[in-house]
Structure 1
Amino acid sequence: MDSGKSFKCTMPGTCVWGKGKVALVTGAARRVGRVIAAALHKHGYNLVIHCSASKDEALAFAAQLNSVRGDSAHVISADLSTTSVVETSERLVREAVAKWGRLDLLVNNAGVYLATPLDQATDHHWNYLMNINLKAPYFLIQAAAPHLRKVEGNVVNLADILGERPSPPLSIYCTSKAAIIMVTKSLAAELGPQEWLSKTPLGRAGTGHEVADAVVFLASPAASYITGSGITTCGGRSITL
């Protein structure tokens, strides 16, 4: 989602195009998330700083930002790794909106990086990585969407090259990042104006049987020399978007 609004800046370093806007940045107490939050604050945004284990660092960071511009940073602590990640995501957005009465930007930065060799991977590893890296961003977007629509706001999801290139033994992490890339593409289409059939060369929606046929082919001896690639069963839509 993008407002498409333009702005002018006559003096480098003085742009405040985010003045009056509110950004929620997950995992913003440390590392990249902190840098992103600081940059947004510099451009006028009020910041909701999400943290989990790093609450002391988050509070110190918020105090630093508030010393520059009063009442411009607020900390919310939430553990996005738990089984109640959907409810936690809803609470996080609800509290973020309550602070300044609006939400203009959601930055899904929080993530965890963990080696999980196949012979050592556990259900806990899978859930831990997927909850933070994939499930939480998805349901944060779901919770934030109504508020973002009101102000023609934006969502930014962070991924990395491991979402496109495998790097054993980080298979679960790579899978989570590949999935968030697809979530980004998919929800961009869902939340933005789209005319799907008019953009499909075959001019019709696909069927479950056609997808099943592709699966049967990939599982058959006829596809014995196909690996690491896929078949795009989309009526030609991918060539026109």
Structure 2
Amino acid sequence: MNYPPKHSDPISKLAPVMLVTGSAKRIGAAIIQAAHQQGYRVIIHCHHSQLEADSLAEALNQIRAASAVVIVVDLAVVNRQTTLNPFIQKIIDAFGQLDVLVHNASRFYPTAVGHLTYDQWDELFLTNAKVPLLLSQALLPYLQAQHGCIISLLDIHAHDKPFSGYIIYNMAKAAQRMMVQSLALDMAPYVRVNGIAPGVNVLPETDSDQALDEQQQHRIVASIPMQRIGTPDDIAHCVLYLAQASYITGEIITVDGGRSLTLAGSNH
């Protein structure tokens, strides 16, 4: 997907800076690439996918020198101020400012009633609720300075349509959804906060425990009014829109090809 350049001088000090958590590949990488094409300087965050992150940054820096950096960190650093503070400093040291914070990093797996564990609760709430909130709070002064914005990637299952077998994930995403609306009030008027609720915009990796067979994929497509799986670029396009929509805050845009109109939570 092509985007018009946002700045005539792409390495101008005025070029905005976007941080996307979990952005070495898939949807996160698509957001980074789209933002970079529009003139943003970008911060690629990863934990386990450093090779992919470094490769992405190298490709972007070949297009425009000194326009992309990689920060490798386990987001559990938010659990302690002594580890969170150095992470925040790395973010700001990258380009000296932050204009857009995108919460993309997320853990997603089933948790069946009767087999729930404390570790599942901690991990799913960490990535989907705790990190977005505490990272937003820590970066607030820098976002205020730029009159910036926060964009959270949510889920169509986070509101009224829980995904069967994923109770902790559903709860964590519902918490993140309320975070978006609450922060939109508390951070106004200088920082806007919005959310995007994807449907099926990328299929699980084929070697993961969430991989879908061909029959399951056909069922999913049949359930979508647009009759196709979405793409990471669909999400990236919405992120860039919200990043520039100066009079929109507290909104959650659904990007699912209409799937939530007919969705039954028990279906894939």
Shared fold (TM-score, shorter chain, > 0.5):
yes
Q: 2:33 aligns with which of 38, 50, 55?
A: 38
In structure 1, C-alpha distance between the alignment counterparts of 2:119 and 2:177, rounded to whole Å: 23
In structure 2, C-alpha distance between the alignment counterparts of 1:89 and 1:33, rounded to whole Å: 22
In structure 2, C-alpha distance between the alignment counterparts of 1:26 and 1:87, rounded to whole Å: 20
In structure 1, C-alpha distance between the alignment counterparts of 2:90 and 2:150, rounded to whole Å: 18
Corresponding residue of 2:5: 15
Corresponding residue of 2:179: 183
How far the C-alpha of 1:87 sits from its partner, in A, is: 5.0
Higher mean C-alpha deviation, range 183-192 or range 16-25: 16-25
Task: Name stretches of at least 5 consecutive residues in structure 2 with no aligned partner.
Answer: 191-268
**SS of 2:75 mapped into structure 1:** coil
In structure 1, C-alpha distance between the alignment counterparts of 2:78 and 2:114, rounded to whole Å: 24
Match runs of 1:158-169 below 5 Å: 158-164=153-159, 165-169=161-165
- Taking a change above 3 Å as real, the CA distance of residues 39 and 89 of structure 1, as seen in their structure-2 partners, is farther
- Taking a change above 3 Å as real, the CA distance of residues 96 and 141 of structure 1, as seen in their structure-2 partners, is same
Task: Name stretches of at least 5 consecutive residues in structure 1 with no aligned partner.
Answer: 1-11, 195-241
Corresponding residue of 1:27: 22
* Paired letter, 2:101: L
Native 8 Å contact 1:50 1:75 kept in 2: yes
Corresponding residue of 1:95: 90
Match runs of 1:116-127 below 5 Å: 116-127=111-122
In structure 1, C-alpha distance between the alignment counterparts of 2:164 and 2:83, rounded to whole Å: 31
- Taking a change above 3 Å as real, the CA distance of residues 30 and 173 of structure 1, as seen in their structure-2 partners, is same
Match runs of 1:107-186 below 5 Å: 107-164=102-159, 165-186=161-182
In structure 1, C-alpha distance between the alignment counterparts of 2:39 and 2:78, rounded to whole Å: 35
How far the C-alpha of 1:94 sits from its partner, in A, is: 1.9
Native 8 Å contact 1:47 1:72 kept in 2: yes
In structure 1, C-alpha distance between the alignment counterparts of 2:7 and 2:82, rounded to whole Å: 32
Q: Which has the greater radius of gyration?
A: 1
Corresponding residue of 2:69: 74
Native 8 Å contact 1:85 1:131 kept in 2: no
Normalising by the residue count of structure 2, what TM-score does the alignment of the two structures yield?
0.64
- Taking a change above 3 Å as real, the CA distance of residues 193 and 46 of structure 1, as seen in their structure-2 partners, is closer
In structure 1, C-alpha distance between the alignment counterparts of 2:88 and 2:43, rounded to whole Å: 10
Percent identity, please: 35
Corresponding residue of 1:54: 49
Native 8 Å contact 2:78 2:135 kept in 1: no
Native 8 Å contact 2:36 2:60 kept in 1: yes
| Offset from partner CA, 1:117-172 (integer Å, 9 cap, x none) | 01111000000011111100101100111001011011001101111111121010
How far the C-alpha of 1:193 sits from its partner, in A, is: 4.0
In structure 2, C-alpha distance between the alignment counterparts of 1:67 and 1:157, rounded to whole Å: 29
Normalising by the residue count of structure 1, what TM-score does the alignment of the two structures yield?
0.71
How far the C-alpha of 1:81 sits from its partner, in A, is: 4.1
In structure 2, C-alpha distance between the alignment counterparts of 1:107 and 1:100, rounded to whole Å: 16
How far the C-alpha of 1:83 sits from its partner, in A, is: 7.6
Report the aligned-residue RMSD: 2.0
In structure 2, C-alpha distance between the alignment counterparts of 1:123 and 1:85, rounded to whole Å: 19
Native 8 Å contact 2:53 2:70 kept in 1: yes
**SS of 1:157 mapped into structure 2:** strand
In structure 2, C-alpha distance between the alignment counterparts of 1:88 and 1:30, rounded to whole Å: 25
| Offset from partner CA, 1:9-44 (integer Å, 9 cap, x none) | xxx843225951111110000110000111110111
Corresponding residue of 2:223: none
| Offset from partner CA, 1:152-209 (integer Å, 9 cap, x none) | 0110011011111111210100111111010000000001049xxxxxxxxxxxxxxx
How far the C-alpha of 1:102 sits from its partner, in A, is: 0.6
